[in-house]
């Protein structure tokens, strides 16, 4: 695994970890910044998302 893909992999793991923590607190699926629902399609594509599309930008 190259250094770059290892870094990307670690970042993804951290993001998944954060999403799982939210899931445990029953706050999964809400944007952590604005508090609105995260689009279900977005969660399907990227289950570790903790921000809605507008906050991500
Ligand atoms: Zn948001």
CA of 22 from ligand 1 middle (Å) equals 15
What is the phi/psi pair of residue 40, to 5°? -55, -35
User: Domains in the chain, ordered, with CATH?
Assistant: 3-56 (1.20.120.910)
Phi, psi dihedrals of residue 30, rounded to the nearest 5°: -110, 145
Residue ranges of the alpha helices (H) in 1-57?
Answer: 3-24, 40-45, 53-56
pLDDT for residue 8 is more than 90:
yes
| For range 4-30, the mean pLDDT | 91
Q: Tokens 């706050």 map to which residue?
A: 27
Residue with tokens 């670690």: 10
- Report how far ligand 1's centroid is from the alpha carbon of 42 (Å): 12
Residue-wise pLDDT for 39-49, tens only, equals 999 999 998 89
From the CA of 50, how far away is ligand 1's center (Å)? 8
Whole-number Å distance, alpha carbon 40 to ligand 1 midpoint, is: 13
Verdict on whether the full-model pTM lies above 0.75: no
């Amino acid at each position: 695994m190259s250094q770059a893909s290892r870094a990307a992999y670690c970042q993804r793991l951290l993001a998944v970890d954060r999403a799982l923590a939210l899931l445990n607190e029953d706050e999964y699926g809400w944007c952590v910044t604005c508090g609105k629902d995260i689009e279900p399609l977005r969660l399907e594509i990227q289950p570790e998302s903790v921000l809605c599309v507008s906050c991500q930008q």
